[in-house]
Amino acid sequence: MPAPGSPEARDLCALYHHSFAASAGEDEARDVAALVEKLIAEDPDARRLFVATQDGTAKAAIVFSRMRFGDDPAEAWLLSPVAVAPDAQGQGIGTALIRHGLDALRRTGARMAVTYGDPGFYGRVGFVPVSVDHVPPPYRLSQPQGWLAQTLDGPAPWPLPGPARCAAAFDDPALW
């Protein structure tokens, strides 16, 4: 993860802003870029960043941040946010980057990954809808159909004790 305030951090936030501005509008783009900025400032051991470049330019980026469920020792990670530059969308770059990130987490012994988004997109990389009773989110979800998870090592560990605890950057009910 780049250092807070570094040129790399600014470039990464710009990628997220550009990606979300094109698909969801300026307000959401600003919010997501601010979220990424907060994630960059957090404990580097509690997050993983993966970036796909093309000709030296970042075309896609994903962030995983650690999640905790009560006293459960299972290593879980939240995948969010994901960005693909508008000129690189539809080429499979985001999907390949997510698969790469999941494989990297799997190699470190992570037990599960969770995300909150489009089931159609995330289903292509192994995420399945889960009940909030089985995998409790940190806050009430505005769109519970988008609560998704996948196991990375072994059988499904749910039901998990809740609520989940996430990186401080996600400690805002409006994000959920």
Q: Is the pLDDT of residue 38 over 90?
A: yes
CATH classification at residue 144:
3.40.630.30
Closest by CA position to 132, among listed 166, 168, 160: 160
Which domain does 59 fall in, by range?
Answer: 45-175
* Residue 39, domain member (yes or no): no
Q: What is the pTM of this model?
A: 0.95
* pLDDT interval class at 157 (50, 70, 90): confident
Q: Which residues contact 59 (CB under 8 A, 6 or more apart)?
A: 15, 52, 53, 84, 85, 87, 88, 93
- Evaluate if residue 1 carries a pLDDT over 80: no
When the pLDDT of each residue in the chain is averaged and rounded to a whole number, the result is 95
pLDDT confidence tier of residue 96, bands split at 50, 70 and 90: very high
> What's residue 154's pLDDT?
87
DSSP H helices in 42-141 = 93-107, 119-123
How many folded domains does the chain comprise?
Answer: 1
